[in-house]
């Protein structure tokens, strides 16, 4: 008797589901954050998700097998049961191997940020081997599901046969015929309904998997930027306790709390005063809030003067579209949209992703309105070319027609930006010098704690150095 049989098939199925979920989350974290993550990583993530869904559907069947085993009843299909036990055992081993090679799923923020700097750790041949193995297990799991449906169908046929015999045997007794006919018909109806329900559930799961795969293909086709790299880099520079004053600012609190009307907040200041670090703080705050409740989705973009691709208008809009598309809990909602269907048709014909500014702008508009609420953070608008700024400002104005979008813009007070946003709530960092200098003190003190980098002589003069740096910094705090 195998270890799985001793513990029970159902318990082990649930254990594999839990492990597949953790491994899938770890793979997704690498896909989202690691540098040079290969395409096969996404395929591995899909296979883990598919295995998880199939095994969840297998739990009731596994419980039936466990009950039959405890009762000393032989399995109706011994070969299939043996194959299922073996596949579950092998699947557990494979997923454990995946988790080990990913070095576990980091949970605390420090280790999570460290992982983001790592490259994808599994070699390409091994990833392909994992994918093939998981696909093979899937075939066994699907076969078990199909056999279970077949058994239900067979029971239906047996019930129909039994009902027919009952009718023939009691034909002489009208009352008996009516009574037994009614009983038999009810029995047949119940079994047929069970078959239909089982098939419907199977079709729904398959449809959901297919929809998720289609959305993933669409997102990949849109060629989104690695929008999170700049965020990770900026958040690394953040020191605990800095920037918290922003969240106590009434203008910010009104912007974040608004749920019934469009909301826009503009934070502006001179170069080097910490706008990008503040943007990363806002994004991290919203990411944490999103984990606690899913009442909104988050999308963001950092424009960077030294990276041309981040200042491309089509690339900016496509990045936002991809973030919004990937955030739907129910993919069927977005798939019903004609604009999304047209995109998929173009992709299927081998066409390239859209580049038209108006078309992309309207795509963001139509997809955003399907969400309950959208929080959108745009940093460094002033670092874009003037024509790009004009398009983004037009887009911001358009989004004010939606009641479910909160937009935060951080930039320098350039004339064209000020002309467009001056009528909206704003926070001038020029007026936050006290808070910014307090942040700077925290940052410098933290820097001086590195005794390997700063000698004892620097440590003795630390307070004088801090004072001199603050006085000499003028209005700047940290580089953007």
Give the mean pLDDT per block of 10 residues along the chain (480 residues): 55 86 84 76 86 80 76 56 77 90 54 56 84 83 67 55 57 54 60 60 55 79 82 88 93 93 93 91 90 84 93 94 82 72 88 92 92 95 95 96 95 96 94 87 74 64 65 50
* pLDDT at residue 465, rounded to an integer: 67
Q: What is the pLDDT of residue 184?
A: 56
Asked if 341 and 417 touch (Cβ cutoff 8 Å), the reply is no
pLDDT for the residue numbered 459: 61
Cα 251 to Cα 16: distance, rounded to the nearest angstrom: 48
CA 461 vs CA 179, 396, 433, 450: distances in Å: 100, 49, 25, 14
What's residue 9's pLDDT?
A: 78
pLDDT value at position 263? 93
Residue 345: CB atoms within 10 Å? 10
Phi, psi (5° rounding) for residue 316? -65, -50
pLDDT of residue 384: 95
What pLDDT sits at residue 80? 53
What is the C-alpha separation between 205 and 279, in angstroms, rounded?
Answer: 39
d(CA 381, CA 375): 17
Specify the pLDDT at position 116.
Answer: 47
User: Does domain 228-235+244-428 correspond to CATH entry 3.40.50.300?
Assistant: yes
Distance (Å, whole) CA 151 – CA 172: 34
Tokens of 116: 């983001």
Rounded Cα gap, residues 102 and 137, in angstroms: 21
Model pLDDT, residue 105: 42
pLDDT of residue 149: 59
Where do the DSSP E strands lie in 15-162? none
Listed by start position, the domains of the chain span: 3-221, 228-235+244-428
* Six token digits for residue 10: 């159902």
pLDDT of 479 reads: 43
What pLDDT is recorded for position 109? 42
Which pLDDT score, from 0 to 100, does residue 170 have? 52
Q: Which residues on neighbouring strands pair with residue 266, listed in sequence order?
A: 409, 426
């Amino acid at each position: 008797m195998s270890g799985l049989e001793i513990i029970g098939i159902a318990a082990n199925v649930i254990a594999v589901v839990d492990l597949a979920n953790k491994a899938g989350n770890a793979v997704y974290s690498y896909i989202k954050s690691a540098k040079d993550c290969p395409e096969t990583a996404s395929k591995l993530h899909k296979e883990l998700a598919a295995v998880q869904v199939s095994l969840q559907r297998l739990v009731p069947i596994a419980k039936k097998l466990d009950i039959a085993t405890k009762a000393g009843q032989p399995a109706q299909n011994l070969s299939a049961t043996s194959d299922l036990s073996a596949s579950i055992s092998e699947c557990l081993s494979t997923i454990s191997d995946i988790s080990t090679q990913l070095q576990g799923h980091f949970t605390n923020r420090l280790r999570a940020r460290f992982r983001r700097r790592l490259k994808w750790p599994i070699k390409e041949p091994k990833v392909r081997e994992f994918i093939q193995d998981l696909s093979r297990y899937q075939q066994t799991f699907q076969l078990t599901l199909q056999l279970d449906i077949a058994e239900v169908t067979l029971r239906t046929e047996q019930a129909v046969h039994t009902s027919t015999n009952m009718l023939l045997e009691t034909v002489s007794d009208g009352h008996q015929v009516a009574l037994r006919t009614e009983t038999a018909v009810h029995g047949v109806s119940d079994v047929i309904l069970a078959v239909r329900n089982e098939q419907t559930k199977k079709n729904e799961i398959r449809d959901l998997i297919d929809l998720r795969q289609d959305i993933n293909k669409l997102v990949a086709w849109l060629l989104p930027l690695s929008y999170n790299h700049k965020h990770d880099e900026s958040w690394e520079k953040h020191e605990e306790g800095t920037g918290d004053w922003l969240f106590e600012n009434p203008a910010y609190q009104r912007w974040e709390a608004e749920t019934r009307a469009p909301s826009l907040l503009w934070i502006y200041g001179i170069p080097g005063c910490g706008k990008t670090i503040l943007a990363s703080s806002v994004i991290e705050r919203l990411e944490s809030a999103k984990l606690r409740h899913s009442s909104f989705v988050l999308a963001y973009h950092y424009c960077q003067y030294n990276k041309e691709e981040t200042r491309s208008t089509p690339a900016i809009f496509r990045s936002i579209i991809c973030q919004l598309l990937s955030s739907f809990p129910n993919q069927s909602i977005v798939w019903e949209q004609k604009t999304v269907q047209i995109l998929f048709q173009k992709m299927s014909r081998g066409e390239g992703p859209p580049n038209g500014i108006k078309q992309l702008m309207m795509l963001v508009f139509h997809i955003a309105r399907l969400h309950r609420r959208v929080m959108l953070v745009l940093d460094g608008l002033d670092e874009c070319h003037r024509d790009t700024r004009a398009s983004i400002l037009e887009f911001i104005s358009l989004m004010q027609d939606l009641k479910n979008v909160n937009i935060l813009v951080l930039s320098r007070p350039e004339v064209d930006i000020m002309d467009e946003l001056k009528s909206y709530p704003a926070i001038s960092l020029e007026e936050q010098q006290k808070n910014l200098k307090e942040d700077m003190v925290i940052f410098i003190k933290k820097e001086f704690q590195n005794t390997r980098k700063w000698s004892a002589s620097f440590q003795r003069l630390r307070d004088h150095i801090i004072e001199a740096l603050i006085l000499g910094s003028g209005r700047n705090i940290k580089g953007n």
